Amino acid sequence: MVFPDSIPVLVIGAGPAGLMAAEQLVAAGVAVHVCDAMPSPGRKFLRAGIGGLNLTHGEDTAAFHSRYSHSEAEAAATMGQGVATVSSWLHDFDAIALRSWARQLGVETFVGSSGRVFPVGLKAAPLLRAWLHRLREQGCVLHTRWRWVGFADESSRISDPGLLRPSLFETPEGPKEVSAQVVVFAMGGGSWARLGSDGSWLPVLAQEGIACTALKPANCGFDFPWSERLLSQYAGSPLKPVGLSVVDSTGTLVFTRKGEALVSRHGIQGSLIYASSSAIREQIELHGKVTLYWDLLPDHTPGQVRAALRVSRGKDSLSNFLRKRLGLDGLRLSLLHELACKPGGDGEQLAHLLKCLPQTLRGVRPIDEAISTAGGILLSGLDQNLMSRALPGVFCAGEMLDWEAPTGGYLLNACFASGRRAGQGALLYLRKADAG
C-alpha cells in the first residue's frame, strides 16, 4: 500500500506493548500505523508461547506488585515527579483485566497449580491471530520489515507544527520517511535479537535527549566452571527440590526461596536463578562476585538433618548413607561433592553444608541469552502517561523501559499494561492538541 505523507499515530514495534497501545487509539477512531522490523508481528510473544504462554499470575495484588523493581537511583529520581510506576500501570490493567481482555478475544484462561495464568490450549498463536484480526477490522494498518533507524534532522521538519520530525525507516522498498503527530515506541529490550529485540534503538534515542541507562540481562543465567565429571552426567538436568539464598556484601539476606534450578554447560540457570538474577547481578557488578547458598534439603529442618546424621554410617559410603537417611541422591548429591571441599567432616559441619552449601559466581551470561532485560529508558524521563519529557508527542512502552520482573507472567502483564497506558496517553495528547 502507499504510505501517506503524514498520519496521526505511528506505533513502532508490534509486540504486546505496541499492539496494546495501538488498540487504545484505533478503538477511539484514530488512524494508526504499526511498523515492525521483523517479517511478522509478535515474534517474541509467540516464542513465549512455546512454553505455554504464561500471561500473568493469580497471586494477590500486594504480592504481585512486589515482583517489580527498578534501580534505587531511578527510584529516588522519580520521587514526586508525577512519574508512572509499574504499580500504577498494573492498577489500571491487572491480572483480572488481562484475563477479561483475552476472553473478549475468544480465548479463555486458567490458573495453574503454581498460580500462573495460561490460555486454554497453552498457545500464543490463537490469541495473537484474534487480536490482529480485531485491530485490522478497527482500521489499524500493519507494516512488517520496516526497521526504524531514527528521526530526520531538523531541516526535514514539515512546516505543520503539529507534526513531529519525520521517522526514518529501512524497508523492502527502500528508505521511507514518515511524519506523525504522535509516535509510540515499543521496540523491546536487548535480548533475543533474532526475534527483533536487539536494543539498537538505545543510542539513537539517547542522542535525541531521552534519558536512558545501559541494558542489562535479566532473568538470566550465570557462569560457573563445572567439572567435566558433573557435566558428563548432569548437563541440562534440573536441580530440585532445593532452596536458594542470596546475601549482599554486608551479610544481609536479599533473596530466599524454594524451587528448582538447571545445570547448563556454561553454569547455572532456571527459575530460581531467574527469580534471584537481579540480586545476583547487582552483587557481581558491585563486587565482582557473589556467593549463593543452596539448601539441598528444603523439606527438612536443620534439627531433622542433624538428627539423621547422628546415626552411625557403619560400612556405608557417605553417598549411600545420605541417600538412605535423607533421600539425597542424583544431582543434589553431586552438587555437594562438587562444591564442598570435604563433605564428610563431622556431623555438624555436614548438616550445615546440606542446608547452606556455598557457590561463588563471578560472571553473567550474555544479554542475548537472557529472557528479558533491565535498563533502557528511565521512568524519570517520562511523565505519568509515558510521554517523553524531552520529546513531547513521543511515548514509550514495554521492555524498552527501565524495570524488571521475574518470569511467571509478570513480564507480559506489565508490557500489556504499559502499552495500554502509553496508548491512552497518546489519545489524550491528540485530543488536547485538537482542542488547542
Whichever domain contains 178, its CATH number is 3.50.50.60
- Inside any domain, residue 78: yes
Do 355 and 246 belong to one domain? yes
The string of pLDDT tens digits covering residues 233-271 is 999 999 999 999 999 988 899 999 999 999 999 999 999
Do 17 and 57 belong to one domain? yes
- Inside any domain, residue 430: yes
Do 107 and 206 belong to one domain? yes
Look at 48 and 388; give whichever has higher pLDDT.
Answer: 388
Do 130 and 247 belong to one domain? no
The string of pLDDT tens digits covering residues 147-172 is 999 999 876 555 566 788 999 999 99
Do 346 and 389 belong to one domain? no
Q: Contact at 8 Å (CB) between 279 and 254?
A: yes
- Inside any domain, residue 423: yes
Instruction: Name 57's bridge partners.
Output: 116
pTM for this one? 0.90
Do 230 and 204 belong to one domain? no
The string of pLDDT tens digits covering residues 9-42 is 999 999 999 999 999 999 999 999 999 999 999 9
* CA dihedral of residues 358, 364, 368, 370 (deg, nearest 10): 40
Helices (H), ranges, 11-164: 16-26, 43-48, 61-66, 72-77, 86-92, 95-104, 125-137
Residue 429 reports pLDDT greater than 90: yes
Do 360 and 374 belong to one domain? no
- Inside any domain, residue 413: yes
Distance from the Cα of residue 422 to its chain's centroid: 18
Task: Give the Cα separation of 381 and 383 in Å (integer).
Answer: 7
Which range of residues forms the domain containing residue 77? 6-218+370-435
Do 147 and 171 belong to one domain? yes
Averaged pLDDT for residues 383-398 = 96
> Taking the alpha carbons of 380, 385, 388, 389 in that order, is the dihedral positive or negative?
negative
Do 351 and 384 belong to one domain? no
- Inside any domain, residue 1: no
- Give the residue from 345, 364, 383 where a domain finishes: 364
Do 347 and 382 belong to one domain? no
Closest CA to 338 of 207, 216, 230: 230
Do 142 and 15 belong to one domain? yes
Q: Do the bridges between strand 267-269 and strand 56-57 make them parallel or antiparallel, or are there none, so unpaired?
A: unpaired
Domains contained in the chain, number:
2
- Give the residue from 364, 383, 411 where a domain finishes: 364
Do 210 and 229 belong to one domain? no
User: What percentage of residues in the chain have a pLDDT greater than 90?
Assistant: 77
- Inside any domain, residue 158: yes
